[in-house]
Amino acid sequence: MISLQVFYEGHVQGVGFRFTVRHLAKGFDVTGWVRNLPDGRVELQVTGDEAEVRGFLDQVAQSELHSLIRKQTESKLNEPVATRGFEICYD
């Protein structure tokens, strides 16, 4: 199992980014969440088997969102993401 935090920068808010990510997550055995940040970035946290997580992130990068992403940074989390399924956070 692997848990990652990923930040997306670019034109990633107000374009359905979070909804597309949630939809793509349904095709993978992952749990986590995605949310907008006040600074204009989108944050994603995801947990699952490494192959599933990598496949999911590759799918995000290859989807129609590709042209909106200017920069993607990722780091490992020490704890699994505590969610059921994959959600959009509104906070």
- Distance between CA atoms of residues 54 and 37, nearest Å: 23
The answer to whether residue 74 scores a pLDDT higher than 90 is yes
* Catalytic entry in 22, 35, 36, 70: 36
- Amino acid 91: pLDDT: 72
* Catalytic entry in 18, 22, 78, 84: 18
- Distance between CA atoms of residues 44 and 74, nearest Å: 9
Catalytic annotation on 36? yes
Task: For the chain, give every domain's residue range.
Answer: 2-74
Span 1-39, pLDDT tens digits: 999 999 999 999 989 999 999 999 999 999 999 999 999
Write out the CATH class of domain 2-74: alpha beta
